């Protein structure tokens, strides 16, 4: 199995694991003898309140397909071809061959830049999601404390 498939699988598993762990809310214990029915009502009300009032950041969708390049590959090819033409022309009077080699190297470099950009975007999305979940948990816990629960 190619390494990029394994890496994408690892990222997907990490995101699922982080998402599942991050969505756990603090545990609220009734401190004032609230009935089971009252606990369910309070939990529902606090979840609704937290979802409405917790500060949130926009979370861009994580990218998990192949790195197309978003112009980085084409730009790399152009820069590589220009540099290769100069080097090829100076080194062995074959600017065309130098341009072809430079363009190929530029495509590879552009693909590397595209993959790095995608990793950074995914990390930013994960951080925003984690912060949103932490804010939701904090708001939920504060609400439950206000309703007479001990929160852990």
Residue at 105 is within a domain: yes
**pLDDT tens track for 96-147:** 766 676 666 666 777 777 788 888 988 999 999 999 999 999 999 999 999 9
pLDDT at residue 78 tops 80: no
Residue at 146 is within a domain: no
pLDDT at residue 54 tops 70: yes
- Give the Cα separation of 29 and 37 in Å (integer): 14
Residue at 28 is within a domain: yes
Residue 150: the pLDDT is 96
Higher-confidence position of 39 and 117 = 39
- Which string of DSSP letters, residue by residue, matches 76-98? HHHHHHHHHHHHHHHHHS-HHHH
Q: Please give the residue range of the domain that contains residue 25.
A: 3-54+69-141
Residue at 62 is within a domain: no
Q: How many domains is the chain partitioned into structurally?
A: 1
Residue at 75 is within a domain: yes
Residue at 27 is within a domain: yes
Answer yes or no: pTM beyond 0.95.
no
Residue at 89 is within a domain: yes
């Amino acid at each position: 199995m190619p390494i990029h498939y394994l890496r994408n699988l690892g990222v997907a598993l990490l995101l699922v694991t982080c998402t599942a762990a991050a969505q756990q809310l603090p545990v609220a214990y009734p401190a004032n003898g609230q009935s089971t029915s009252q606990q369910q009502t309070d939990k529902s009300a606090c979840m609704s309140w937290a979802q409405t009032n917790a500060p949130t950041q926009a979370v861009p969708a994580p990218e998990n397909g192949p790195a197309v390049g978003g112009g980085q590959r084409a730009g790399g090819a152009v820069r590589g071809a220009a540099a290769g033409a100069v080097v090829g022309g100076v080194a062995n009077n074959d600017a065309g061959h130098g341009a072809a080699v430079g363009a190929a190297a530029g495509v590879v470099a552009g693909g590397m830049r595209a993959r790095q950009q995608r990793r950074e975007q995914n990390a930013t999305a994960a951080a925003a999601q984690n912060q949103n979940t932490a804010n939701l948990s904090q708001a939920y816990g504060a609400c439950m404390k206000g309703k007479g629960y001990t929160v852990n």
